[in-house]
Amino acid sequence: MVLACSVVFAQAYPARPVRVVTGAPGSTAEFAARSLAQGLSARLGQPAVVDPRAAGGGTVFGEIVAKAQPDGYTLLVIGSSFWVGPLFRKAPYDVISDFAPIAIVADSPNVLVVHPSLPVASVKDLIELARAKPGALNYSTSGIGASPHLAAELFKAMAGVDIAHIPFKGAGASVIGVMSAQVQLSFASVASVAPHVQSARVRGIAVTGARPFALFPELPTVAATVPGYEAGGATGFFAPAKTPAAIIARLNREAAIFLRERDVKEKFLNLGVETVGSSPEQLTATIKSDTIKWANVIKHAGIRPE
């Protein structure tokens, strides 16, 4: 009887508009949320209304969704800083216990780039140069604790090299730092660096994901030289904890179908991310593995929040 009621509830869902809370306007998360909301609106037969929150409001939108009724009408689409951020500062929610995972919407690696004058053409070359000149090379990031910072510190630890960190204010400034030779290299986000790799203003060396990236098929992975290395950022799709399993299954199914559409995949790739459409279990596994990995990197590197 309980199963039958659950199925009927899912079939009746949604009976009114769905709210999709997300990150700041212009962010990758907001783009993903708007794209997904458009697809869900068509597939669910009810409007999915996006509610973007200003930069730095991670705890705000986390609280909004964690405290919402678990009925499938308040959802969250957000990047991996949502579950990595609490490693730096206490959050008013627990990502595992306060949310029901629905799917990984998309993911993206970082891109290891160097200034064209640096005499390296591969990850192997970079490691050899860094080992020959410990502390002489430096790398830029978009800020302390950001994805490029963590990716670089993981590389330093796994490759056994000493490269100095130069934080900039934002991804754009970080890439300009490499282009102007203020720094020699960066583990930049795809969106911030793609046009500059294509114009040869910086030289792409490798991608930080576990597999080659469609936007840069010619670039190898860092892991091809440093086995086991992997860094990047996923975008997750969540509901409040205790949302009925049938609703989670429906949202997962509809999201996966939408994210497999060719034009949707192309739209995401043009922004530097690949669509995924995973199971809820895969999102949970990603959160848990990221938490362990980045907690170790943060401790080893002695990273402190700004």
Question: Same structural domain for residues 206 and 253?
Answer: no
- How much is the pLDDT for 26? 82
CATH code where residue 208 lies: 3.40.190.10
Same domain, 213 and 246: no
Contacts of 217 (CB under 8 A, 6+ apart): none
Answer yes or no: is pLDDT of 92 > 50.
yes
The dihedral formed by the CA atoms of 291, 274, 230 and 178, expressed in degrees to the nearest 10: -110
Cα dihedral 281/227/147/192 (nearest 10): -110
> Looking at 231, 255, 272, which one is the last position of a domain?
231
More confident residue, 207 or 91: 207
Shared domain for 113 and 218, answered yes or no, is yes
Domain at 256, CATH number: 3.40.190.150
Domain-terminating residue out of 174, 206, 231: 231
Judge if 126 and 78 occupy the same domain.
Answer: no
Q: Is 237 left (phi over 0), alpha (psi -120 to 50) or beta?
A: beta
Burial 163-189 (b: 16+ CB within 10 A, else e): bebebbeebebbbbbbbeeebbbbbbb
Q: ∠ CA(192), CA(153), CA(87), 5° rounding? A: 90
Mean pLDDT for the stretch of residues 257-267: 95
**pLDDT tens figures, 143-178:** 888 899 999 999 999 999 999 999 988 888 999 999
Same domain, residue pair 196 and 245: no
Side-chain-side CA neighbours of residue 107 (13 Å):
23
- Residue 292 forms part of a structural domain: yes
Q: Do residues 126 and 47 both lie within one domain?
A: no
Place of tokens 């978009």: 142
Amino acid symbol at 162: D
**4-15: average pLDDT:** 65
Residue 48 lies in a domain: yes
Question: Confidence class of residue 205 from pLDDT cuts 50, 70 and 90?
Answer: very high
Q: Residue 9's pLDDT is what? A: 52
- Tell me if 224 is assigned to some domain: yes
Q: Is residue 131, in this structure, part of any structural domain at all?
A: yes
Residue 227 is assigned to a structural domain of this protein: yes
Q: How confident is the model at residue 2, as a pLDDT? A: 44
d(CA 98, CA 67): 8
The letter for the amino acid at 190 is V
Residues 86 and 171 occupy one common structural domain:
no
274 is a domain residue: yes
Q: Other C-beta atoms within 10 Å of 32: how many?
A: 26
Residues 169, 11: Cα–Cα separation, whole Å:
48
The closest of 247, 195, 201, 186 to 216, measured between CA atoms, is 195
CB 106 within 8 A of CB 198: no
246 lies in which domain range?
2-107+232-300
Task: Looking at the structure, tell me whether residues 61 and 173 fall in a common domain.
Answer: no
